[in-house]
Amino acid sequence: MRGPVGESFQTIAVEALGDNVETVVLDRPQAANALNTQMGRDLISYFESLSFEPDRARCVVLTGRGERAFCAGGDLKERDGMSTERWRAQHLVFERMARAILHCPTPVVAAVNGAAFGGGCEIAALCDFIYASERARFALTETSLGIIPGAGGTQTLARALGERRAKELIFTARIFSAREALEWGLVNEVHPHEALAGEALRAAKRVAAAAPIAVRQAKQAIARGLQMSISDGMAFEIEAYNRLVPTEDRVEGVRAFNEKRRPAFKGA
């Protein structure tokens, strides 16, 4: 389909929903939305475009097409018989895709509607937070295929779940439920399957209603701060804070509070 910035997407569907929210749907239902090379390229194009058009959307919901899967992981039919050189070339695409999602300045909410295995679990974990259907299942299956997670999984899961739980799940490649993912800290909320889309959209609209520059600065401060000592992280936080003081949105937020109305943030 034609994307919001003119790209022709073959494997994802993009829709502007109003209220400054866009949805991205992994759109290969005949293959359980498995990640092939073209999907990697489409996701790169979409998420990198948000870095160049920061005012286009204030929040993104990422989900999968159909009732069966969010994303079943790497497309093993495409990978069957790949030479070492072709495999490595494909994985360069997936590495850039992971970074495009992780470093996207716009907040990304994953709405995991079904199986999120291998690369699908990694894609979800790259998002800022996750809402899951009660039917969702997760797994990092790579060690059962002779590889390891290569789209951030060893890093994002260890940070979300802790070292020991991440090691257990990656070493054993076992499937775990949405409720387990919630209990362990990978998922933020679990909803009845039919309510998932609405709940994820509701959360995205709340994010989009906040001051967009403030949200982007908060996202950066959290992400960067986790790589620093707490003292350095607090110093980085103050730098991010000070960038907001001269903005029109800061003035509008205080004025709206005192006038007992909703603020009209412009992202300026």
Judged by DSSP in three states, 7 sits in coil
Handedness of CA 31, 32, 38, 42 (dihedral sign): positive
Are the C-beta atoms of residues 179 and 186 closer than 8 Å to each other?
no
Catalytic residues: 122, 142
148: left (phi over 0), alpha (psi -120 to 50) or beta: beta
State the Cα–Cα distance between residues 92 and 88, nearest whole angstrom.
Answer: 6
Phi and psi at 18, nearest 5°, equal: 85, 170
Query: For residue 129, what are the contacts with CB-CB under 8 A and spacing of at least 6?
Result: 109, 110, 188, 203
Copy the structure tokens of residue 180. 């387990």
Are the C-beta atoms of residues 169 and 176 closer than 8 Å to each other?
yes
Long-range pairs for 245-253: beta carbons < 8 A, 24 or more residues apart: 247/211, 247/213, 249/211, 249/212, 249/213, 249/214, 250/211, 250/214, 252/211, 253/211
